[in-house]
A and B are shown apart, each in its own frame.
Chain A
Amino acid sequence: EAGVAQSPRYKIIEKRQSVAFWCNPISGHATLYWYQQILGQGPKLLIQFQNNGVVDDSQLPKDRFSAERLKGVDSTLKIQPAKLEDSAVYLCASSWGRTSGLTDTQYFGPGTRLTVL
């Protein structure tokens, strides 16, 4: 079974530029997550999709971050314009999408390391 794919693996940009990250989840997984992991911290959920609908984006800075999951498969996360504090690893994860008491293991991709100068 292929894992979660992400690209690019590394990105360096100047502040105020825009950047986009791509994620391809495990085949058949209904739920897709984007996390921000700042150095020395645990992952923080930015947005969670169930198929192509958003179920949680409460911690997404919507003035600069946007995400979409067209056709309920691949997803892109965009930052425009980037700030210095956006420097972090952006992790994508996916899961089957079980609810109601059944645990739903998340499988993470390798992440994209973003450096904003």
Chain B
Amino acid sequence: QQQVKQSPQSLIVQKGGISIINCAYENTAFDYFPWYQQFPGKGPALLIAIRPDVSEKKEGRFTISFNKSAKQFSLHIMDSQPGDSATYFCAALNSGGYQKVTFGTGTKLQVIP
């Protein structure tokens, strides 16, 4: 019940295209859903996050769509750029108490020129 399932495992997108990464969770106690971006040789860094009381959050070219009834959420990267090439992890946590983060398995995104 603690799992966060993420797909696809890898993704190749042309420059200027839209990258879409999907995640699903089971634990209804999760109430905060961050996305992390990880470049090779670096630790993950928080990219964008959403709470389930909204269906969408946009920050620049990055948008999270959230479907509470389906327990699914996704990251959309508009106008994808080669600099976006990285591994993306969705995550989920319960913000009450000590906030243990459960990570998805990751999506390796490659944006080709």
The binding surface of chain B is classed by DSSP as loop
B-chain residues with CB within 8 Å of residue A40 when the two chains form the complex: 9, 105-106
A74-106 interface code vs B (CB 8 A; 1 in, 0 out): 000000000000000001010100111111111
Question: A106 contacts B46, CB within 8 Å?
Answer: yes
The number of chain B residues touching the other chain, given as a range, is 20 to 34
Q: Which residues of A contact B32 (CB under 8 A)?
A: 103
Contact call B101/A106, Cβ cutoff below 8 A: yes
Query: Does A56 sit within 8 A of B, measured CB to CB?
Result: yes
Q: Which of A4, A42, A95, A103 contacts B89 (CB 8 A)?
A: A42
Chain A positions within 8 Å of B42 at CB level? 108, 110-111
Q: B83: CB under 8 A from chain A?
A: no
Q: Which of B43, B49, B96: most chain A CB closer than 10 A? A: B43
Binding site for A on B (CB under 8 A): 4, 6, 9, 32, 41-46, 49, 89, 91, 95-101, 103-106
Task: Report which A residues bind B (CB closer than 8 A).
Answer: 4, 31, 40-45, 48, 50, 55-56, 91, 93, 95, 98-111
